Structure 1
Amino acid sequence: MQTYIVYTGNSRKDETSSLLHCKNLLQQVTVDSEPKFIIHHYKRSFNGFVAKLTKAEADKMAELDGVVSIFPDKKRSLLTTKSWDFIVIDTGIWPESNSFNDEGFSPPPSKWKGICQTYNFTCNNKIIGARYYGISFNDVGSPRDYVGHGTHVASTAAGNIVSQASMLGLGHGTSRGGVPSARIAVYKVFRSSACDASNILSAFDDAIADRVDMLSVSIGGEIENHHSIFKDPLSIGSFHAMKNGVLTVFAAGNDGPQPTSLDNFSPWSIVVGAGTIERKFGISINIFDLSGNMYPIIYAGDAPNTQAGFNGHKSKFCSLNSLNSLLVKGKIVLCKGHIGSQEAFRAGAIGVLTQGQISRDTAFSFPLPGCYLRTKDAKKIHKYIYSTRTPTATIFKTTESENTLTPVVASFSARGPSIVTPDILKG
């Protein structure tokens, strides 16, 4: 038994007839005495439903008149785009941010039909609507953003002008979204880094009926559906948005730089790739200052947590719980792979060095003093550690510099053309 989305187009204009049609379809495929239930009914902007079916029942459903497509309710991943939009389908929003202060904004326009689900959350004349979909065991029912991705995307699209902004003390300046005067409505479909396709369609269904002007959707598509647009919930939702005069802007995806690597591809939407900015921070961001003080440095392969069953071959990658705190505490740790900062932090290290980061136009931060190294540089440090009885090192705070080559497409950004519509420019 699996959860499926059954898409029936837009043939029923009223909720009652649409629901009866869906129930009739469900009854036609039921092959046992156990009743079937509609988990969710799409009714405001297009028609369809969600239900648990066996594979045989799903195959039978696909053959029925009135069924456009049927596909499993699978998880989708987060992406990021720089679209200048009105409404964001993402992880929610943090309303107290200065980017969303409503000073100077008039009440919402009379055409607005949306709502604000206000548990642990307050809308204003800037954030005029907020909904959430699905509740996980570790999350409260609220449009509030506990991940940060939705807040980031919303502020990029329509954040207010905020002076004296910085990223962990770097990049000081004034931040602003593409259209600071725009209002925002938020549709929270994510709890962490993934969400159900059925919740995405629910958000589209509501957003279109709520009378939004534009949609910003930074959600990854599914590669196996690239040849079947109407088995892709993002394409279905954006199609009905287009029919109602609402433009959808998708993120291209993070699977570049190879051609035809787009996550999103529907011909009726805009797809935006990732680009570089005017400042460079290297491939890691260290906001901590060791003030030039030297500390002992140790190779992670020499500090295995043997009590937890790890040996040096495993601990060198600094995977979770692999390091011996007694050997690591107060030292800088050299890890073999590109992960390791969380484990080094847990084990009490003063700093961490990781290696193997492929793209050099993406910077990551650490919970402790840290730095990404090129593989050849990491080999030199590894050699140094064994060249002396008391190897020491320090890690300097990140400095920023001007990026004279901006703007260019980021190395990880997905590229077109679209497999479905190669004659239409995407990515």
Structure 2
Amino acid sequence: MDPRTEAMATFENNSKAVNSDVITDSTCMKLVYVVYMGALPEGYHSLYHSNKLQEHHAKMLQDVVPRDTSLTKALVTSYKRSFNGFAAYLTNQEQQKLASHEDVVSIFPSRTLWPQTTRSWDFIGLNENVIRNSNTDSSSNIVIGVLDSGIWPESESFNDQGFGPVPQKWRGVCNGGTNFTCNKKLIGARFYSSDTARDTIGHGTHTASTAAGNYVKDASFYGIAQGTARGGAPSARIAAYKVCQGGCREADILAAFDDAIADGVDVITISLGSSVAVDVIYDSISIGSLHAMEKGILTVHSAGNNGFSPGTVISVAPWLMTVGASSIDRGIVAKVVLGNGKTISGKAVNSFKMKGTEFPLVYGKDVRTGDCDELAGSLCSTDCLNSSLVSGKIVLCDSNSGIEEALNAGALGTIVKPGQVPDVSFVVPMSASVLIASDFELVKSYINSTEEAKAIVSTSESMKNSDAPVVASFSSKGPNPIISSILKPDITAPGVEILAAYSPAAPVTDYLKDKRSVEYSVLSGTSMSSPHAAGAAAYVKSAHPDWSPSAIKSALMTTAWRMDPTRHKDAEFSYGSGHINPINATNPGLVYETSREDYIKLLCSIGYSAESIRQLFKDNSIDCSKFKKVDSTNKDDFNYPSMTVKVAEGAPFSATFSRTVTNVGLANSTYTAAVDKSSDCNITVDPQTLSFKQLNEKQSFVVTVKGDRMKSMVSASLVWSDGIHLVRSPIVVY
């Protein structure tokens, strides 16, 4: 099935289940649909044309909805500041009528997306001294737009001590609702489908402070992961756009993009997504980020948290920077000490201290209620633990879901097996430790070996993680399910056990009995890696204010630390170009600049009609007939920092990549090509040297990859070096 057809089929089949934007009148059910109409009309001036554009949207609606329908009720919002379109309540029949309108590029149900949910900056080389020494007027002139669940403005991470006046370029507002105040650090706030920009979930506060939080000494989660909390760009300003209240409506996400672009942000970070990738013109984040790119704004997006199988990455557009999650060199463990003296390290963010040296240890099946069988008891299933038998004891459960039952039954602590994510410590609501299967069996054997088994679960502590960086098991993987010639994710960044600011009004965990309130918490997810990359992008932009989004993205990708493919069975489909390295990205030597024409060429080559692309860019000169399809020729001249092509399995293959680099290093320099590969394929580069005489000079080259038979994938890289800079691009044929 064509990806666009498949995407729309998914929408139609699941829209009722995932979408809360439903109204029912006496005759039919209506959903919120996004009607996307491309770029703003030529000659558009917002002050004069804004009302006219909204009138046009209302007229389009009037032509399809019944005459007795209130347009005020039907029209949800108009997008008129940075691109053209609207969201409205429509029946399936009404949206089909609108889809045929000549001004419409795409129309799709407004899905409900979800959040993808300090030591990390030191680990990637951006320590406090480096950041302080780089503080300039340009760094405090950078504005990071955070599209998330809002922000807690009183957090110390957003204090404005030492900040000068708000940048003159800023055109936004502080519309945070009642009792919400901005300052010279948090300079803007807006909310959608809510009555406040205040964060009651915690996610938005965490991502905002990770990207650009100010310095806060001795921050911790109940003493765990203690240190100075700060963002990657602590001198940058923050603008918060609250698009999530529980779920995150696509209609609101597009409205926030519309505002953020017009407000004057420099970088956008968004850590939201669905469970499946959809075509770029039916996806609010792809659409919004396209228009952000057109205005010189880089959008950084989380790859997704469904990485247990290939092709699960949900951020697929080439103009987005897609970020996977990896570990840092600090891990958090909760140790279990058994009565026989053996100590086992488990995973958990456990802030509770047991008062004593050892406590009775029991197995769930041995302390179950009479209504539960042995299996349910061993799993510590709901209502299966006998409160009188577990009080004051530590319970061993065969499932991590047993934590809640142990808590509800009044157990002193619990030891459980991991769920789908064994490599991450999550915050727990009681004394608990999550053990890998082999260690869990050791505890079970110990219980069986004695009539008086005892143990203690210690409060969590930090430990050195010498294996880092390793891509987290949950981090969504490639290949790109929509555009096979674009490698996704682009890069990885810290996303495991990240300490950052949190909303004190938000629940610390999802457990109902957990009533704690904190100002800093530890979260994991690609939601945490996206603001790390956004902070790094802001750092690079502060050094090079005139660089385009694609130049910044290229600099971060080509200077990334290469990761060990022997630890990642999916290789580049796990980590893209590698682990982010902000310091080197400020001096990459060469950059791959992706032009507007490149994006048009790519969209033409993968099957979009010229009419749709003309609407997308409001450019009637676009002609797709001169562009061949990428997938049918295996000739790729899309100027992207990575090189990827999909070929037929079991057959000889040949793929050609044409690329152009721009010299941003030394004016007079010569680069030599070197290829590193892990297969028997033949890779050539022509020419093998590139000589530059001046800055911003461009040089082109061609990479050819040939092989006798494709079994799985070719994983290689091209490195250009002038003796000072190393400019590395991954090469993937699969």
Calculate the TM-score normalised by the size of structure 2.
Answer: 0.53
| Aligned counterpart in structure 1 of residue 104 of structure 2, from 53, 67, 75 | 67
Structure 2 residue identity aligned to 1:200: I
CA RMSD in angstroms comes to: 2.6
Structure 2 residue identity aligned to 1:299: Y
Alpha-carbon distance between aligned partners in 2 of 1:305 and 1:52, rounded to the nearest angstrom: 50
Say whether residues 1:247 and 2:298 are aligned partners. Answer: yes
Q: Secondary structure at the match of 1:260?
A: coil
Alpha-carbon distance between aligned partners in 2 of 1:52 and 1:143, rounded to the nearest angstrom: 24
Gaps of 5+ in 2: 1-28, 125-141, 334-346, 490-734
Judge which range, 273-282 or 160-169, deviates more: 160-169
Alpha-carbon distance between aligned partners in 1 of 2:76 and 2:95, rounded to the nearest angstrom: 15
| 1:205 Cα deviation from its structure 2 partner | 1.1
| 1:278 Cα deviation from its structure 2 partner | 1.4
Q: Aligned residues: percent identity? A: 43
- Determine if contact 2:277/2:315 at 8 Å carries over to the other structure: no
Structure 2 residue identity aligned to 1:21: H
Question: Paired residue for 2:682?
Answer: none
Say whether residues 1:269 and 2:320 are aligned partners. Answer: yes
| 1:188 Cα deviation from its structure 2 partner | 1.0
| 1:184 Cα deviation from its structure 2 partner | 0.5
Q: Which aligned runs of 4 or more in structure 1 are off by greater than 6 angstroms? A: 81-85
| 1:247 Cα deviation from its structure 2 partner | 1.1
Structure 2 residue identity aligned to 1:243: E
Structure 1, residues 314-348: CA drift from partner, whole Å, max 9, x if none?
A: 45434555533333222212222122323322222
Please give the residue correspondences for 1:324-343 in structure 2 after superposition, counting only pairs within 5 Å. 324-343=386-405
Say whether residues 1:44 and 2:81 are aligned partners. Answer: yes
Question: Paired residue for 2:456?
Answer: 394
Say whether residues 1:286 and 2:350 are aligned partners. Answer: yes
Alpha-carbon distance between aligned partners in 2 of 1:114 and 1:379, rounded to the nearest angstrom: 57
Please give the residue correspondences for 1:20-419 in structure 2 after superposition, counting only pairs within 5 Å. 20-30=55-65, 34-35=69-70, 37-79=74-116, 86-116=144-174, 117-135=176-194, 141-192=195-246, 194-221=247-274, 223=276, 225=278, 228-256=279-307, 258-282=309-333, 283-290=347-354, 293-304=357-368, 313-419=375-481
Structure 1, residues 365-396: CA drift from partner, whole Å, max 9, x if none?
A: 21211100122333343344455444332212
Structure 1, residues 175-210: CA drift from partner, whole Å, max 9, x if none?
A: 221111101010111123x21111111111111111
| 1:420 Cα deviation from its structure 2 partner | 3.3
Q: Secondary structure at the match of 1:407?
A: coil
Say whether residues 1:3 and 2:32 are aligned partners. Answer: yes
Q: 1:344 to 1:48 in 2, by over 3 A?
A: same
Structure with bigger helix share is 2
Judge which range, 86-95 or 372-381, deviates more: 372-381
Alpha-carbon distance between aligned partners in 2 of 1:107 and 1:310, rounded to the nearest angstrom: 65
Alpha-carbon distance between aligned partners in 1 of 2:169 and 2:382, rounded to the nearest angstrom: 52
Alpha-carbon distance between aligned partners in 2 of 1:221 and 1:243, rounded to the nearest angstrom: 25
Alpha-carbon distance between aligned partners in 1 of 2:393 and 2:236, rounded to the nearest angstrom: 49
- Determine if contact 1:221/1:264 at 8 Å carries over to the other structure: no
Judge which range, 239-248 or 382-391, deviates more: 382-391
Q: 1:320 to 1:201 in 2, by over 3 A?
A: farther
Question: Paired residue for 2:488?
Answer: 426
- Determine if contact 2:277/2:316 at 8 Å carries over to the other structure: no
| 1:312 Cα deviation from its structure 2 partner | 5.2
Larger Rg: 2
Alpha-carbon distance between aligned partners in 2 of 1:377 and 1:28, rounded to the nearest angstrom: 66
Alpha-carbon distance between aligned partners in 2 of 1:314 and 1:64, rounded to the nearest angstrom: 57
| 1:292 Cα deviation from its structure 2 partner | 5.3
| 1:405 Cα deviation from its structure 2 partner | 2.5
Q: Secondary structure at the match of 2:78?
A: strand
Structure 1 residue identity aligned to 2:481: I
Q: Secondary structure at the match of 1:394?
A: strand
Structure 2 residue identity aligned to 1:114: G
Q: Secondary structure at the match of 2:55?
A: helix
Gaps of 5+ in 1: 136-140
Q: 1:304 to 1:56 in 2, by over 3 A?
A: farther
Judge which range, 164-173 or 312-321, deviates more: 312-321
| 1:290 Cα deviation from its structure 2 partner | 2.3
Q: 1:338 to 1:131 in 2, by over 3 A?
A: same
- Determine if contact 1:162/1:175 at 8 Å carries over to the other structure: yes
Q: 1:375 to 1:85 in 2, by over 3 A?
A: farther
Q: How many residues end up aligned between the 2 structures? A: 417
| 1:123 Cα deviation from its structure 2 partner | 0.9
Structure with bigger strand share is 2
Calculate the TM-score normalised by the size of structure 1.
Answer: 0.89
Q: Which has the higher contact order (CA 8 A, sep 6+)?
A: 1
Q: Secondary structure at the match of 2:211?
A: helix
- Determine if contact 1:189/1:203 at 8 Å carries over to the other structure: yes
Structure 1, residues 31-60: CA drift from partner, whole Å, max 9, x if none?
A: 685455212222221222222222222222
Structure 2 residue identity aligned to 1:159: G
Q: 1:305 to 1:148 in 2, by over 3 A?
A: farther
Structure 2 residue identity aligned to 1:199: D
Judge which range, 342-351 or 356-365, deviates more: 356-365
Structure 1, residues 216-275: CA drift from partner, whole Å, max 9, x if none?
A: 1111145251xx211100011111111122111111111225443212111111111112
Q: Secondary structure at the match of 1:364?
A: coil
Alpha-carbon distance between aligned partners in 1 of 2:383 and 2:79, rounded to the nearest angstrom: 45
Alpha-carbon distance between aligned partners in 2 of 1:287 and 1:112, rounded to the nearest angstrom: 42
Q: Secondary structure at the match of 2:483?
A: coil
Structure 2 residue identity aligned to 1:77: W
